[in-house]
Each structure stands twice: as structure tokens, then as C-alpha cells.
Structure 1
């Protein structure tokens, strides 16, 4: 293959433009698919506890307030992992951090099998959450970087569907496994799946092309050319000079400074507030609904059915968002989804005692809240440059999860005080409406980014 002088002088912007302006190659699709597989695993590992909680509560004699801490253990770990571990991806690369986090998930899941009390259960759920939190935002950045401009929002929305898919799979497995073998069987299955995911990722998951061109780690040229070759693009004879003025500026002031200084600061705050309040409502619904219905009706299977329905709705919500994002702005879709979700929470509280209708509305809750989460995942990468992208997304997810950690705990105390469960759904419509206002501010101005919205 002949390489012209003009080709060898291409800068990072030109190289990445060739990736983003063309059709997605098979290599790109495989990379996004691996990320989807990993976020399915994340959804499975977090979703396990919602379905195992009724039996764990019964066997360990855990009160509702303490159960709230158990349900929040992985969420707390995810928050800390997103804030403290995800930024390492902007220094060491997307691939190595993903592999390290998978190892942490394997360890956390395996040790959960040894838990004999609420305190040890919380500890190992935090460890598992650290791995999940450190990996999710990093994968979000990787999907954004390997997607074409035309399909980026759609690809990220489909990627976001992996989480409810994983939680749905957990529900389907819980129905036969927990009654037959007990809650430990679910965590054994989770450990095995995490090991399989680690092996596949070690073999097939590539490094980010954006990262290699921006950070220039050891052997970067050969690694870049291998990736370009797999995408049927011209190789480089040498690494081009960095021609993007924004890159130099970002490297000079650092990722955290980019996130926390104008003009990005306003968008960062909107992402933090909007995402945090959304996931607080989301995790309240997804962690407590199976237990609430099981306790109210005395039928554990009904609670599991409700949890499966909400997660299936989440899967549909991500795909609906992905389809609509082909024609409409992701920011506008996010804004509309959040206010619709607030209305659905109010409706669920009104018809809570009509079980058949409640299941249908629970499905709608899943559609709207998970679709909105997909919206935040799609919008966030467009706010930050490549040098700050993993850090920016990680902080959004991490700080959002810190807010969400409180939700299951607070609900535990509210229910322990004897408050009717349907009243809690009215309460959580308020943060969803505020989240919608934050999403509305994202529509008012857009920071220049290497990625299209």
C-alpha cells in the first residue's frame, strides 16, 4: 500500500475524522458489542441483590432499615469507583482500567458467597461496586470514541440498554435458582459470568484510538496502525504532530480543571444534578419494588415479576431512545423523558394497590427512567474533550451515585416508620422534575466538542 506524503502528515483530528465521518466498521461494532456485554454484566451484578433481598432479609433477620444499607452497598462502591478509579483511564488507558475493574468484580462477587451477616454482605457489595463504578463510565467513553458521528447517540443508548438487560437476566435466573438453591446460587452465577467477561475482554477489547493519539504511550504508533488496519484505514508512517489547539490547552490545565472551569462548569453542574436525582429515583424503584410488593402481597414471585417487568421496560426505553436519537436531539429527548418519568411515578403511587395496573405502570417507569439514563450517557461525552472525557463522565456517574446511595437507605427508614409505600413514589416525582429542569439547561448552550451530539 503506497502512503503519500500528505497521508503521513495527517494530524489526530484528520485521523479521527476518518473514523467518525464514515460507516462503522466491523471492528468498531465488535468493540461496542464487547462494551455492551460488560455493561450487561454490570446490570446483572447490581440487579442480583434486588431479587435476593427478600430471602436474605428472612434468613439473616435483617430489618428494613438495615436492608436499605445492604441494597445501597454496591451503589456506594460504584460511586467511589466512578470518582476515584475511572479518572485513571485518562492516564493509563481505557483497556487496562477495564481489565483491572473486572478482576475487582470477580473478587467482590466471589467473596459475597462467604458473607454470613449484613456487615460482611455490605463490605463485599462495596468491593463489587468499586469495580462496576470504575468500569462503567470508562466504557461509556470508549463507546463514544469508537462510534461514528451519525450513530454515536444511538450506539450509547443501545449500550445503556445493557444495564437493564443484565438486571432482567438476573430476574429470570432468580425465579428458578433462588427457590431451588438459595440466594448464594445467584452470586455464584455472577462470579462465573465475570470470569468469562474478563477472558473475552483480555483477548478482544482494544485500546481507545483517541487515547493513543492524544497520550502517545509506549509503542503507540504500532498500536494505532493495528487499529487503523482493522478498520480498513490507511496506516501512519509516524505519529503526527498534535494539531488541535484545544488538546494542548486541556493538557496544560488538566482534566479536572477543564470540568470545573467555564465554559464547561455550567454543563458539568447540570449533568451532576440531573443525573444524580434521576438515578436516586431509578435505584429506589429498582431496588425496593420487588421487596415492597413481596411484603405487601406475601408473594415473593410477584415481586420478582414486577422487577423483571420494570427492567424489560428499561431495555425497551433504551432502544426507543436510540431509535428516536437518529432523528432528534439527544438533549431534547432527555428533557422530555425526565418530565414524563415524574408523571409516571405519580401515577404509580395512585394505582399502587391495583396489582395488574401497577405492573403495567412499573413497565412504563422502566421505559422512561432507563431511557433518560441512556440520554445522560449520550450527552455527557459531547461535553468534554478526549483528555477529560473519562474523568468527566466518571465524576457525573460517581457523584450521581453518591446521591443515589441515600435513596434505598432513606426509603428503608421511611417504610420502617410505617409510611404507606405508595406515598414514597409521590415523593420521588419531585427530584425527577428537578432533573428535567437541569436537562433543560443543557439545551440552552453547547460547548464545542470533538464529538457530535
Structure 2
């Protein structure tokens, strides 16, 4: 019989125990949640040309529409991430899912571009809260030995959801129109949110730290480690930081390490969102049909899914920051391939696929890295602020793409220039080497 007296914290129990069915249920439900989040986040890039045509808008309207959602997401990450460290990961994540699902359905009924911009901004606020909560929840139910693999596998739901938009939009847009695509995405979010409300537990580490007497602790403990509950084992709570969330974040981990993570997220998400949202537009300007451009762009998310799974497994066996740095440095070859082979659809689809393997695949890996690096008491805040800075990069990328197009630059030059921020992100991850064993503000030191 296992000696539970040697274990102090929930993380110790999770690390020393086999993965239970309850933990696998958490991973699966988070996967499904972020899949619909990915669908509704990416959908605007695919329906934007149709919205532009219906309302007779100018050439900058797509940039404005994409920017509205990004501004909302930046706002949401700065608010909802810290809120999840106070009120709970599951509660904040599901409320955000219900709201953005309803708002996405509302988008499909609006009759003015100004109303669409306002509602997309509000929906973006909720988008900003789902992913950080899902990452934190998965990390806190995952043993250190498989944390990167499990987080990246869960995060694949986002890339699969994003990729599915391309295939669904390619079929629905010519037949049912852009409004049907939005109604479908919003309805799925509400249905999945209702399922998770019934089945998804709160983080046990969060409850022990913030609600030590909560009645759910014993129930969840009995589901993931019934022998520990039977033996009367009581986990000790992590220290809860005082003060404002951002101050607590810098007290929990060295400022230099956090700033490097922000730089890497800014660079990677700048490139990810620029390609995901602008590639359909750039390809159509190069003579591709709308359907062909949607399929080629979907390969970016397919590559991200395969890349994240592979990168996560390697990160569990090698220095994760070195893995990420090497992957992002290697992305420059894929970007060069897109620029070089633009006239050849099959070749450019292959290059887009490998760009997806490296760029969003690596970005997913960096989220797993951050989840391991930050301790429980500020984990969602750390992930959400990193995501918020990254989305600021996405906003800059969208504005830069619009500006470069206005200057007359073609697709080849715009894509080639993305190699610069990716090299900066790679450098930031290599420099994070000095922070791989930081002093933790609390008992949990993480797995890196």
C-alpha cells in the first residue's frame, strides 16, 4: 500500500499516482471546449470576405473586423485570467464559453457592420479567458512526467477547431452563406458548455489553495486517488499570494523570465494570427479561388495540430526551451517555402503545413512550458498575461499586414518578413535557459 504520509501537496499526489479516468475526462472535456473556442476564434477570417462583399465595404474592413476581436481578447486575458486564480478555472471558463457562444450566434443575425464590430469585440473578451483556464486546469490534473504532452494534446482541440472552419466554410459559404457558419459555431459553443457544466470539475489544486474547506475536495480526491481518501490523506494548501495579480506574478517568478516569455508569445502569435487570418486574403489576391484558399489555409492548422503533439512529446524528454527555440528558428525555412512556391498550390500547401508544425505547434508548446514554469497560485494569471501579450502581437501583425498591402507589397515579401519575429522568439526561448530552475514562491517548483 502506498505511503501517503510522504506526500504534502496535490501536485505530489498527481505525480506519484497513475492517471485516473477522472483526469482523462478533464483532458477530453478541455479538448472539446478549446475546439469550439478555436472554431469561433478563427471563423471571422473565413467569413470576413463575404461580410465585406455583402455590406460593400472598403479594403481595410477585414483588418478592422479582425482587430475588433483581437482587442477584445487582449482585454479578456488581462481580466479573466486573474479572475480564474480567484474564482476558479472551471467557473470562469464555462461562463466565458456561454457568453461568446451566444454572441457568435448574434453575429449571424446582425444587419450592420458597426454592430458586427461591437459584438465581435465583446465576444473577443470571452475568447481571451477560455484557453488560459483550460491550460491551467489540464496542467493541474497532469503529472509532471507527461505535462507537456497532455497540454499540447489538449491544445490540439484549438487547432483542430480552427482547421475545421476552413473545410466547413468551403462547403457552407457557397450554399448557406456566412451567417449560417456563425450560427453553427455559436450553437456548438453553448451545447459543449452545457455538457462541461455537468461533468467538468474544478481544479483540485485551486480548491485546496483557495477553498481549503470546500466539500468538492473530498469528492474529487476520491475520483482521482481513492486510496488516498481512504487513508485519510489531507493535502496541504499552497501559499496564496497577497496583492494585485500582476505584482503577485512577478513575485512568484523572476521578472526576466516572464518578459522573455512575453517576447516569444508576441512574436509567435503575431505570425500565427497573421497567417491564419490573412492567408486566405493573400492567396485570393494571387489568383486562388475562395474555396482553394480556405483549404490551403486549413493546412496551417493541421500542421499546428501534428506539430504540437510531436513537440510536446519531445519537450517531456528534452530541455523544453531549447526544443521551442530550435523549432521556431526552423520555421523560417517553411516561411521561405511559402514565399518561393506561391504560384504552385500543392507546393505552397506543403509549405503552409510545415509552417503550422513550427509556428502554432511551437506556440502551443510554449503554453505548456509556461504552465509548468508558473506555480499554482498565479498559473492562470501567468498564462493569460502571456496570451494577452501574444494577442497584442497578433493585433500588430494584422495591422502590419494591412499596411504592407496598402504599400503594394505582395504575398511573397509579407510572408518572408515573418522570419524576423520568429528568430526573435527563438532567441527569447534560448535565453530562458537561465530561468529553467527558478526559485518558486511557494512549495511547487514545477517540472522544468
CA distance in 1, matches of 2:336, 2:385: 30
1:35 aligns with 2:25: no
Matched, 1:156 2:151: yes
Distance across 2 between alignment mates of 1:430 and 1:241: 46
Deviations 1:1-38 (A, max 9, x none): x9x9x96x78752x431112222111101101111111
CA distance in 2 between counterparts of 1:109 and 1:10 reads: 49
Is 2:161 the partner of 1:166?
A: yes
In the TM superposition, residue 237 of structure 1 has moved relative to its aligned partner by 5.3
Can you list the C-alpha shifts for 1:280-309, whole angstroms capped at 9, x where unaligned? 011000101112112321511111111121
Instruction: List per-residue Cα deviations over 1:223-245 (Å, max 9, x = no partner).
Output: 11101111133227585554x6x
Q: Residue 248 of structure 2 corresponds to which residue in structure 1?
A: 258
Residue pair 1:264, 1:383 contacting (<8 A) in 2 also = no
TM-score of the superposed pair, with normalisation by structure 2: 0.93
Pair 1:410-2:400 in alignment: yes
**Contact 2:324 2:366 (C-alpha < 8 Å) held by counterparts:** yes
SS of 1:315's partner is helix
Map of 2:320 onto structure 1:
330
Alignment pair present for 1:177 and 2:161: no
- Please say if residues 84 and 92 of structure 2, whose CA atoms lie closer than 8 Å, have aligned partners that are also in contact: yes
Unaligned runs of 5+ in 2: none
Deviation at 1:118, TM superposition (A): 2.9
CA distance in 2, matches of 1:408, 1:61: 21
Alignment of 1:3-152 (within 5 A): 12-13=8-9, 15-152=10-147
Query: How many residues of Structure 1 are paired with residues of Structure 2 in the alignment?
Result: 441
* C-alpha contact 2:253 2:439 (8 A) present in aligned 1: no
Tell me the distance in 2 between the aligned counterparts of 1:266 and 1:259.
12
TM-superposed CA distance for 1:341, in Å, is 1.3
Deviation larger for 290-299 or 135-144: 290-299
**2:422 counterpart of 1:432:** yes
Take 1:381 and 1:317, find their aligned partners in 2: how far apart are those partners?
A: 19
Whether 2:291 is the aligned partner of 1:301: answer: yes
| CA spacing shift, 1:114–1:12, aligned 2, 3 Å | farther
- Residue aligned with 1:135, SS: helix
CA deviations on 1:193-243 (whole Å, 9 max, x unpaired) are 0111111111011010111111126x51x311101111133227585554x
1:361 to 338, 351, 358: 351
Note if 1:224 corresponds to 2:214: no
Contact 2:311 2:323 in 1 (8 A): yes
Aligned to 1:292: 282
1:190 corresponds to: 185
Partners of 2:166 and 2:297 within 8 A in 1: yes
1:83-112 Cα offsets, whole Å, 9 max, x none, are 111110111111211121112212221221
Distance verdict in 2 for CA 1:437–1:114, change over 3 Å: same
Query: Does residue 1:214 correspond to 2:209, yes or no?
Result: yes
Distance 1:198 1:381 in 2: 23
Which of 382, 385, 401 is the equivalent residue of 2:375?
385
* TM superposition shift of 1:254: 5.5
- Would the aligned equivalents of 1:86 and 1:391 in 2 still touch at CA under 8 Å? yes
Shift of 1:405: 1.1
Look up the SS of the partner of 1:352 in the other structure: coil
Q: Is the Cα contact below 8 Å between 1:83 and 1:399 reproduced in 2?
A: no
> Distance in 2 between the 1:115 and 1:272 partners?
36
Q: What is the SS of the residue equivalent to 2:143?
A: coil
Partners of 2:146 and 2:316 within 8 A in 1 = yes
2:309 to 319, 322, 325: 319
> How far does residue 261 in structure 1 lie from its aligned partner after superposition?
4.4
* Shift in alpha-carbon separation, 1:208–1:305, aligned structure 2, 3 A: same
Match of 1:205 among 200, 204, 219: 200
Q: Quick one: distance in 2 between partners of 1:401 and 1:79?
A: 6
How far off is 1:406 after superposition?
2.1
**TM-score normalized with structure 1 length:** 0.92
Deviation at 1:136? 0.9
Kept in 2: contact 1:351–1:358 (CA 8 A): yes
Mean alpha-carbon deviation: is it higher for 345-354 or for 77-86?
345-354
Q: Which moved more, 1:264-273 or 1:96-105?
A: 96-105
Task: Report if the CA contact (8 A) 1:313-1:364 is conserved.
Answer: yes
Specify whether residues 52 and 379 from structure 1 end up closer, same or farther in structure 2 by C-alpha distance, changes over 3 A only: same
| Deviation for aligned residue 1:161 | 1.3
